[in-house]
Amino acid sequence: MNMVKYTAFIFIIALIVVFSFAIMFPKSFDQIRKAAELAIKTGQLQIGGKNPRVDQIYIEDKACTPSASGPGVLGLADSSVNKVIKAYIADDNGNCNAATATAYVCDPNAATCNQATRIWQSGMTFTNSPDGNVHCNFTVSSNFPLWFYYRWGDWKINVTVSDPSSLYNNTVQYWYYNILNAVEYPYNPTGATIDFGALPTVGEWNDGRGGGGTTGNYIKNTGNIRVNVTWNSTDFTCQSGTCTGDIIPITNSPDSFCIDRDTTRNGGTFSQQCMNANELIQSWYIPTGKPASIQRCTTSACTGATEDDDGGSPNDAYYYQWWHIYVPNVREGTYQDSIQWTGIPCPTCGG
Amino acid sequence: MFKYEKLSLITTLLILLSFQAVWSFGITEPLPVGLKLLRGDSQRFFFQIQAVSSTNKLECTYTITGMDPLIINFDQDSVTVDAGGVENVYGTVTVPETAPVKTYSGQVMVNCAPPIGAQEGTGSRLQQSMAVQFNLNVVGALEERKTETIPEEQPKVSYIPTFTILVIIIAIIAIVYWFISKRKKKK
């Protein structure tokens, strides 16, 4: 009798433990339940001579679409994010678990998506089957690294599948790489300063400033679209020292504060763009002979002369930037202004 | 006067700008994309503010323009993004019954700056604004409608109360069993 009681007691305790596990960890419990269900399914359908097919492709568990405007996917500025690609494959022969599948990912520039036009590819491995290997879930062996510099827009994935009899098929479906508008200035992953340094001369221009005195700082497009950047600045006002009440006015007539891609004012390879003290008036920074935008990188580092989206030299996605400032006769001290810059993505700028 | 100017030329030392930390951010186009809503519909959306390469915490505000007469409400008016972090900004767009059927192309503008005090004594307060487009279609027919449920941030659930309740239940069962066993032994 005691044995029966003990057994009943242990059974109740076990039920409570299982019940509590299910409440506390519902996802894990569901996975265990599904695994148990699969383990007891033994039926298999055998039909010869049928090609396998790819019914559905997923990126980060979102169903891709047969035409453009697929599910939106987000990238990460100046980084890559690994995306899981899955496919739901069918084979009426009932042996889709033995199929060989490969995923090809193509950017918006590719008219068709295949091995020749892909940005990235990976073999896919069988994960499980809900119905005795008539339908199978496959997932990529290594995840797709979605880099910040890949172009925004409608992307494609081609999943090609073949069975042990070398019968094959493929499907192309779409997803959308959401616009990521990101620009970094000053660009230096280990830390950087915008520093005009000690300006020794008053009553004249101090050219080629911005990164610890007479050096510049890099600006980098860390997103996936060309960006138009506008700058403006308030007047510099005295903050400390013996300059109380003094200001360094920022004006366009005459110019007093300019941004440039070289250290030479009124000359050099690029012309400077000067800004106004009125914060409502913004100055477009338009390099001579270049589109009014910071281009998109085509590599992660983006340091090469041609590693921008037009492929031409110099690099218009990652470059040095300098400042020229005219300092009138003001007294010694520390001056401050307020610089604001605005980045507007330019979907129609190309790239 | 001349003496003063000459003295200035020799001794003036101007430290105009000196930011001691990198700060920058990016924003993403709102998700979901390609929405097609009917009049009277409401749809949740979100976009990300990314400060992955920033060494400063950022305080950000945001606005949407160009979407009238659609009604757009953000869950919060502003957000603080930790250095190196990413924050989702959630909102709801509602289509009034009188809204014209057409494509709406608006602009999300995000303005971020380090918190006041983060740049004290070292130069200017630098402000950065980034924009991104927000496109949405208002359609007239039900079969054209396309909506999508976004993954909302789940509130962090503490399992401690559930666990405590289970421990108490087990303890009660054990005590009852012990009590019954003891009574039977006495008999």
Give the mean pLDDT of A103-128.
97
* Cross-chain Cβ contact A193/B20 below 8 Å: yes
Q: CA Rg, chain B, in Å?
A: 29
* Cross-chain Cβ contact B173/A202 below 8 Å: no
- The full set of domains in chain B, from first to last, is 2-144 (2.60.40.10)
| Encoded amino acid at A128, one letter | N
pLDDT at A1 over 80: no
Q: Decide which of A177, A194, A223 is a domain's last residue.
A: A177
Q: Are residues A154 and A239 in the same domain?
A: no
Report how far residue A115's alpha carbon sits from residue A123's, in angstroms, rounded to the nearest whole number. Answer: 12
Q: What is the pLDDT of residue A40?
A: 41
State pLDDT tens for residues A266-290: 888 887 888 765 544 444 445 545 5
Quote the domain boundaries for residue A134.
44-177
A193 contact B CB<8A: yes
Q: Are residues A186 and A285 in the same domain?
A: yes
Domain count for chain A, please give it. 2
B22 contact A CB<8A: yes
Whether residue A202 is contained in a domain is answered as yes
* Cross-chain Cβ contact A332/B12 below 8 Å: yes
What ipTM was predicted for this assembly?
A: 0.78
Q: Are residues A229 and A334 in the same domain?
A: yes
Q: Are residues A159 and A207 in the same domain?
A: no
pLDDT at A42 over 50: no
Nearest alpha carbon to residue B27 among A30, A27, A77 = A77
Which of A41-55, A176-190, B35-49, B73-87 has the weakest average pLDDT?
A: A41-55
Q: Are residues A151 and A192 in the same domain?
A: no
Q: What is the pLDDT of residue A182?
A: 94
Q: Are residues A276 and A215 in the same domain?
A: yes
User: Which own/partner pairs from B163-172 qualify as long-range (CB within 8 Å, at least 24 positions apart)?
Assistant: B163/A20, B163/A24, B166/A16, B166/A20, B166/A23, B169/A16, B170/A13, B170/A16
Q: Characterize A18-33 residue by residue with b for buried, 16 or more Cβ atoms within 10 angstroms of its Cβ, and e for exposed.
A: eebeeeeeeeeeeeee
Q: Give the burial class of A276: count Cβ atoms within 10 A of its Cβ; 0-12 exposed, 13-18 middle, 19 or more buried.
A: buried
Residue A118 phi, psi (nearest 5): -75, 150
State pLDDT tens for residues A309-339: 989 888 989 988 888 888 888 888 888 777 7
Residues of chain B with confidence (pLDDT) below 70: 1-23, 115-126, 154-163, 186-187
Q: What is the pLDDT of residue A202?
A: 82
Nearest alpha carbon to residue B99 among B30, B29, B42, B32 = B42
Give the mean pLDDT of A194-222.
78
Give the contacts of A194 (CB within 8 A, at least 6 positions apart).
A185, A186, A210, A211, A217, B17, B18, B19, B123, B126
Q: Decide which of A133, A150, A177 is a domain's last residue.
A: A177
Give the mean pLDDT of A289-317.
87
* Residues A57, A159 contacting (CB under 8 angstroms): yes
Chain B interface disruption, residue of A19, A20, A224, most B CBs within 10 A: A20
Confidence class for position A116, pLDDT limits 50, 70, 90: very high
B123: chain A residues, CB-CB within 8 Å: 194, 334, 336
| Encoded amino acid at A349, one letter | C
Dihedral angle sign, alpha carbons of residues A304, A310, A311, A313: negative
pLDDT at A82 over 50: yes
Report how far residue A42's alpha carbon sits from residue A63's, in angstroms, rounded to the nearest whole number. Answer: 29
* Cross-chain Cβ contact B133/A345 below 8 Å: yes
Q: Are residues A102 and A251 in the same domain?
A: no
Its pTM stands at 0.79
Chain B interface disruption, residue of A25, A74, A258, A348, most B CBs within 10 A: A74
B148: chain A residues, CB-CB within 8 Å: 71
Q: Are residues A192 and A311 in the same domain?
A: yes
Q: What is the pLDDT of residue B52?
A: 87
Q: Are residues A340 and A255 in the same domain?
A: yes
CATH classification of the domain holding A74: 2.60.40.1220
Segment 82-121 of chain B within 8 Å of chain A by CB: 86
Q: Are residues A173 and A191 in the same domain?
A: no
Whether residue A217 is contained in a domain is answered as yes
* Residues A225, A152 contacting (CB under 8 angstroms): yes
Whether residue A164 is contained in a domain is answered as yes
What average pLDDT is seen over chain A?
Answer: 83
C-beta atoms surrounding A347 within 10 Å: 13
Whether residue A16 is contained in a domain is answered as no
Whether residue A340 is contained in a domain is answered as yes
Which of A23-27, A132-136, A276-280, B144-148 has the weakest average pLDDT?
A: A276-280
Q: Are residues A212 and A152 in the same domain?
A: no
Whether residue A28 is contained in a domain is answered as no
Q: Are residues A218 and A160 in the same domain?
A: no
Q: What is the pLDDT of residue A292?
A: 57
Whether residue A320 is contained in a domain is answered as yes
